[in-house]
């Protein structure tokens, strides 16, 4: 056991050193994205980006306000640094630029690009209903209300906000020419030039009120799941000549290297949705008829409270469905009590729990859960090292570093995102909540039921994985889960009727 502990600690330290000292990575080959998690474990973990923004993931959120960018129109007297970091073209941005309208102020740090190649001009990272665009621009901001700089914010769950702009080949874009005309000065890795300031707002779409919003990660190592993504619905265009200046003029190698390596195809493939939903600020448009409206944050908090301190006997059979955000209007024919009465009882209990802090504290049993107790720095390495080590020690599998990190982080991430109305509540997160309760017979029975459901779900996913999206955690995409005859009428097929002893 002593050797196991030592090995686990060494593995963790090596991983952290790999991040701190920048292990080499590329998009293809032996250091390509399929191998990123060997040095950067978050790249194999939860809530990764980019994603394929499919219609079934969308939820309309009427509270989303237009994006407001401040001080984006820079004077030519302000000098910006344009650089080639070996992975992308990057422009440094002054701290006076920021986004308003989010829960905190997010201050601009830099913008960069991802693009395809001259032979394959499709290089956006995010896709919309399987459509990949020619390129994508990311304007990166950090939470300056809570963190002093980008490096302190980058590994926090609320650390970053990124504006994503999809780029198509079409009309010439004069705003892009403001920096593309200097691109020959940064042909090789680590080269930098100074460029005059210009109107950064002109790089964005005309409309900033229509966008997709979801919780995700950096799309490059170390892949921290710390990004609030805003992907604008409307794309912008650049000319073919402008695209080719990105795709053919740059190298990811140094000037002194004997064999120059072209810099193109610098995009990561789409990642699993991991129970997330994509909020949208718009409801009209082709293919958007019948898009559901997201459940309110208050209702979701009440749902979590019910799971934490409610009477678990009330969760048996059909009573469980009223706690879930979608499909609760569908009730199995064999219901045991009137739904309206049951909903009233549940809400009354939730209010009572809200007004009774001692009951809430007692229910926590020193376990943090989402906004109702989740540590704000839960994603930073310092706080995670002990949790991951504990996970490895329990599983006696010191080589399963990525899986252990995923298992330690996912429930907290899912719950935080659920409370922010940006995820469905996943099975592992529900089990995580229930383990915060005293170990009563009812709690054990429900946990066993959920465990069995998860196992059945994995078996089902094995037989249909060729045609149905499956998450890394054994969860089927909610919109595409096939329903078996015996679960007809259940909005969440993994929640089947449970048998309870009187």
List, for residues 476-500, the tens digit of each pLDDT value. 333 333 333 333 333 343 343 333 3
Dihedrals phi, psi of 111, to nearest 5 degrees: -130, 150
Between 107 and 357, whose confidence is greater? 107
| Percent of the chain with pLDDT strictly greater than 70 | 67
Domain map (residue ranges) of the chain: 48-280, 297-367+435-487
pLDDT digits (tens, 9 = 90+) for 253-283: 999 999 999 999 999 999 999 889 999 999 8
CA–CA distances in Å: residue 438 to residues 3, 227, 303, 365, 444: 34, 34, 18, 8, 10
pLDDT digits (tens, 9 = 90+) for 12-50: 444 454 444 457 899 998 999 999 998 998 999 899 999
**Is the model's pTM score more than 0.85?**
no
Angle in degrees, CA 468, 370, 280, rounded to 5: 50
What the block records as the tokens of 82 is 């344009």
Q: Cis peptide leading into 332, omega within 30 of 0? A: no
Average pLDDT over residues 294-312: 83
Residue among 109, 82, 87, 78 at smallest CA distance from 192: 82
Of the candidate CATH numbers 3.10.200.10, 3.40.50.11540, 3.40.50.1980, 3.40.50.1100, the domain formed by 48-280 belongs to: 3.10.200.10
Sign of the dihedral defined by the CA atoms of residues 256, 260, 262, 266, in that order: negative
**Residue of 2, 39, 87, 390 with catalytic role:** 87
Highest mean pLDDT among 152-166, 287-301, 416-430: 152-166
**87 among known catalytic residues:** yes
DSSP SS3 for 324: coil
pLDDT at 379 over 70: no
pLDDT digits (tens, 9 = 90+) for 37-83: 989 989 998 999 999 999 999 999 999 999 999 999 999 999 999 99
pLDDT at 468: 37
Crossing angle of helices 427-434 and 441-464, in 10° steps, is 170
pLDDT digits (tens, 9 = 90+) for 314-361: 665 544 555 554 433 333 333 334 434 444 444 444 444 433 333 333
pLDDT at 315: 62
Q: Cis peptide leading into 126, omega within 30 of 0? A: no
Distance CA 15, CA 38 (A): 8
Count CA atoms closer than 13 A to 356's CA, side-chain side.
Answer: 12
Residue environment code for 317-354, b if the CB has 16+ CB neighbours within 10 A, otherwise e: bbbbbbbbbbebeeebeeeeeeeeebeebbeebbeebe
Cβ neighbours of residue 429 closer than 8 Å, sequence gap 6 or more: 275, 410, 411, 414, 415, 418
pLDDT digits (tens, 9 = 90+) for 405-457: 777 788 888 888 898 888 888 888 888 888 778 877 777 777 777 777 677 66
């Amino acid at each position: 056991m002593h050797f196991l502990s030592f090995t686990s600690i060494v593995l963790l330290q090596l991983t952290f050193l790999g991040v701190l000292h920048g292990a080499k990575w590329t998009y293809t080959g032996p250091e390509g994205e399929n191998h990123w998690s060997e040095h950067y474990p978050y790249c194999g973990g939860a809530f990764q980006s980019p994603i394929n923004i499919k219609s079934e993931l969308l939820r309309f959120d009427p509270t989303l306000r237009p994006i407001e960018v401040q001080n984006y129109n820079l004077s030519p007297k302000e000098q910006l640094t344009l650089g080639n970091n070996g992975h992308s073209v990057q422009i440094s941005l002054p701290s006076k630029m920021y986004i308003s309208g989010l829960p905190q102020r997010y201050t601009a740090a830099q913008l960069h690009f991802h693009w395809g190649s001259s032979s394959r001009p499709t290089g956006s990272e995010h896709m919309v209903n399987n459509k990949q665009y020619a390129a994508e621009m990311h304007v990166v901001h950090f939470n300056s209300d809570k963190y002093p700089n980008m490096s302190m914010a980058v590994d926090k769950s609320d650390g970053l906000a990124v504006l994503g702009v999809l780029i198509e080949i079409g009309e010439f874009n004069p705003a892009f020419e403001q920096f593309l005309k200097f691109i020959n000065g940064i042909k090789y890795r680590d080269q930098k030039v100074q460029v005059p300031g210009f109107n950064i707002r002109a790089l964005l779409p005309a409309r900033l009120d229509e966008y997709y919003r979801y919780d995700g990660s950096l799309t490059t190592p170390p892949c921290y799941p710390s990004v609030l993504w805003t992907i604008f619905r409307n794309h912008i265009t650049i000319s073919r000549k402008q695209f080719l200046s990105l795709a053919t003029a740059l190298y990811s190698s140094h000037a002194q290297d004997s064999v120059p390596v072209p810099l193109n195809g610098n995009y990561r493939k789409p990642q699993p949705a991991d129970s997330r939903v994509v909020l949208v600020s718009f409801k009209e448009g082709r293919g958007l008829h019948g898009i559901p409206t997201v459940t309110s944050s208050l209702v979701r908090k009440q749902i979590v409270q019910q799971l934490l301190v409610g009477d678990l006997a009330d969760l048996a059979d059909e009573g469980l469905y009223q706690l879930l955000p979608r499909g609760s209007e569908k009730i199995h024919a064999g219901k045991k009590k009137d739904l309206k009465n049951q909903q009233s009882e549940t809400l009354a209990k939730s209010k009572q729990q809200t007004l009774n802090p001692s009951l809430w504290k007692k229910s926590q049993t020193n376990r943090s859960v989402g906004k109702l107790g989740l540590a704000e720095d839960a994603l930073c390495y310092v706080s995670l090292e002990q949790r991951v080590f504990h996970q490895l020690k329990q599983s006696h599998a010191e080589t399963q570093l990525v899986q252990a990190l995923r298992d330690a982080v996912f429930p907290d991430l899912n719950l935080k995102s659920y409370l922010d109305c940006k995820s469905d509540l996943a099975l592992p997160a529900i089990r995580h909540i229930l383990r915060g309760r005293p170990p009563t017979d009812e709690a054990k029975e429900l946990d066993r039921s959920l465990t069995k459901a998860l196992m059945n779900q994995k078996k089902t996913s094995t037989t249909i994985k060729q045609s149905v999206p499956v998450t890394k955690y054994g969860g089927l995409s909610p919109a595409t889960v096939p329903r078996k005859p015996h679960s007809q009428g259940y909005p969440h097929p993994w929640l089947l009727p449970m048998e309870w002893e009187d």
